[in-house]
Amino acid sequence: MNEPVSPGPRNGILSLTIKDKSVLYAAYMPFIKNGGLFIPTNKNYRLGDEVFMLLSLMDEAEKIPVAGKVIWMTPKGAQGNRAAGVGVQFNDGDNSARNQIETHLAGSLKSDRPTHTM
């Protein structure tokens, strides 16, 4: 009998404050279903770990609560001096974070500039 594989444990709350459009562009992952963000961190995560983020964008006073799961990892010492961290895919159902990010990045999403993940 096969037991279902469950995602890893929750790893607390990640807090991310982005005050600059170029930093937001580098962190955003529009190519992921539901969108996602790269979060620089030295904490250890596994693919599939569930995470909860409190996201502050630009000068907005209100933090955006975002639930998601780890779908990308860049380890410390990665080639090309890439920042260590994790990519978090936003959960289905709540598009508020994605909508706000894409509003801030209007006109920049089609850019060829490199990001943390591509």
CATH number of the domain that 92 lies in?
2.40.10.220
Please give the pLDDT value at position 108: 60
Q: Cβ distance 38 to 55 under 8 Å?
A: no
What's the predicted TM-score (pTM) here? 0.77
Q: How confident is the model at residue 5 (pLDDT cuts 50, 70, 90)?
A: very low
Q: How many domains does the chain have?
A: 1
1: in domain:
no
DSSP code, position 54: E
8: in domain:
no
Q: Note the pLDDT tens digit of each residue in 65-100.
A: 999 999 988 878 777 777 888 999 999 877 888 998
33: in domain:
yes
107 Rama class: left (phi>0) / alpha (psi -120 to 50) / beta: left
Q: Note the pLDDT tens digit of each residue in 31-70.
A: 889 999 998 888 889 999 999 999 999 888 889 999 999 9
Domain membership of residue 88 as a residue range: 13-104
23: in domain:
yes
